[in-house]
Structure 1
């Protein structure tokens, strides 16, 4: 992964036309009609994504577990109902969520745009608890990929700050969502990308439980009936991706309960003091545009790996 300073410099040199939009708690970057943003009131996870072919927001924001966000798992599964743990999520692992926990949003330390890069810093909450901050810090850098229209690159970093002798115990291999994505329910046509403009339909009834797909090139997309789609390329993922609709209907309202889920998966062992860092890409447009950009990204980044300090 290139150093952030070098990457930021390349963005500034190659793209001088970049507008920044801030309203209320939203912080956006915008290029060529593609807009991506985070919300200071919602953990500074990605809460907005739109483009000329779909000018309204495609990100589901119905609760802190939705959004496009960082989500990690570590340690043992614990029954903490006596401490207020949600019965629906018990027993549960150490699971810091960028958006927040059940019923509460995470605390944002910073969210700003500098030299075309949208930076955010969040103190995540544990998903299974109503309002318990995790011993961790999440940082995120969101920018546009140089020389590729409609492509966003997101760098994620988790710094674990757990007590070495806490209740979750020693490190265990756990499936990580890299990242966790929730789109509006209208984008319910899931497809794996096979390369050279070839796609494979992936079908699953409404969940959870979610379906499992095995995209050979670490890329999947969700399309709506008019042919617009949003693709995720996560070269650090290995094996299956979780995917599937939740609820029924074809709502395009980001605040509605029904949604579409997509999550690249990789097994990573996080210790109480781990620092974990990876990148993924979001691509917008119709199938032809997605295919063209994915072919370019795969050529450039298929050997990308995550960074883990234990």
Structure 2
């Protein structure tokens, strides 16, 4: 009579025959708030304590962080709008942001950070997170919504970060904000350190158009022909935002004065590609954008290549 092997031994033998994941990376510890990936050219990171928005961007020629994180409304993050503009001051709505529409923010509300439910490094080149956003106009009110985000590197372009965003509204069908209304969406909202003060729209084939705007808000508006704008520091290093799904004039401009490179400072630079869609109580909205770093000449080359590959890409909206 054949004796049976112990169950634990059988399990061990089975596992021994399974292939190992070559790119598997160590998961974050419970106390690890900043997750980063670094390909030797670019370092990008998301922060669990700040809604898992992008809070770090640096590269070999500019090794310090250039993402502004002074408050939950800054960062590089998802931001959406829907429904009626309501005065909810009786419920604690910020007086400075009243009346206001339904505005879920990945970073958080005016004085609180959003809650992150999934926060992981999938492999050595991909970050993934799920966030329950907060309504911007309220001190601490979670939105009935879920944000998902994948952050990685564009293949064969080590100086380009690609970000995939997915937003799902989970509002009640008959809530106070009402049915779907045509509303602007920031895809994404970007805030950089104030020293990246030279703003240009990309025209293609190595040509740029300077953009000027006094400190805001209100922000300036411009329509970059190739859906790409770049901001440059005095040393010639810059970052371009490429968002082919944008369909409207972009928001852009400086906030306050000075030339600080401090990510925690109040003064900053802002740019936001804009789409306009009927975001309803149960809508799901998806899009991608790219961050390109380097000198103007380096960014030229990458933007032309990205436009050739992704120039016709548009956002996806279901259940409008």
> 2:66 is matched with which residue: 58, 80, 93?
58
> Structure 1 residues 240, 110: CA separation in 2 closer, same or farther (over 3 Å shift)?
same
Q: Give the aligned partner of residue 41 of structure 2.
A: 33
Whether the 8 Å CA contact 1:103–1:130 is kept in 2: the answer is yes
How far, CA to CA, are the matches of 2:240 and 2:144 in structure 1?
Answer: 32
1:236 pairs with one of 225, 245, 260: 245
CA shift, 1:111, in A, is 1.2
Q: Distance in 1 between matches of 2:223 and 2:213?
A: 13
Offset at residue 114 of structure 1 (A): 1.0
Q: Which residue of 2 aligns with 1:69?
A: 77
CA RMSD of aligned residues (A): 1.8
| Equivalence for 2:10 | none
State the aligned residue count.
Answer: 297
**Equivalences for 1:114-193 in 2 at 5 Å?**
114-115=122-123, 116-193=125-202
Give 2:219's aligned residue. 210
Task: After TM superposition, give the deviation of residue 305 of structure 1 in Å.
Answer: 1.2
Secondary structure in 1 aligned to 2:248? coil
- Please give the alpha-carbon distance, in whole angstroms, between the structure 2 residues aligned to 1:309 and 1:17: 33
CA distance in 1, matches of 2:130, 2:109: 17
Instruction: Give unmatched runs, 5+ long, in structure 2.
Output: 1-20
Alpha-carbon shift at residue 78 of structure 1 (Å): 0.1
1:248 equivalent in structure 2: 257
Aligned equivalents of 1:19 and 1:33: distance in 2?
21
Rounded to whole Å, the distance in 1 between the matches of 2:212 and 2:27 is 38
Larger Rg: 2
Q: Does the CA-based 8 Å contact 2:165-2:288 persist in structure 1?
A: yes
Q: In the superposition, relative to structure 1, how do residues 288 and 232 fare at CA in structure 2: closer, same or farther (>3 Å)?
A: same
Question: SS of 1:255's equivalent?
Answer: coil
Q: What is the CA-CA distance between 1:19 and the residue it aligns to?
A: 10
Indicate whether 1:99 and 2:107 are aligned: yes
Question: What is the CA–CA distance in structure 1 between the aligned matches of 2:53 and 2:82, rounded to whole Å?
Answer: 20
1:17 to partner: Cα distance: 12
**CA separation of 1:238 and 1:17: change in aligned 2, threshold 3 A:** same
Aligned position for 2:295: 286
**Residue 112 of structure 1: aligned partner:** 120
- Give the Cα separation in 1 of the matches to 2:147 and 2:39: 25
After TM superposition, where is structure 1 displaced by more than 6 Å over at least 4 residues in a row? 16-23
Could you say what secondary structure the match of 1:256 adopts? Answer: coil
Normalising by structure 2, what TM-score? 0.90
Offset from partner CA, 1:121-145 (integer Å, 9 cap, x none): 0000000000000000000000100
Aligned counterparts of 1:21 and 1:50: Cα–Cα separation in 2: 21
Distance 1:17 1:87 in 2: 48
Change (3 A) 1:219 1:21: farther
User: What do the CA deviations read for 1:37-81 (whole angstroms, capped 9, x no partner)?
Assistant: 001000000000000111000000000000000000000000000
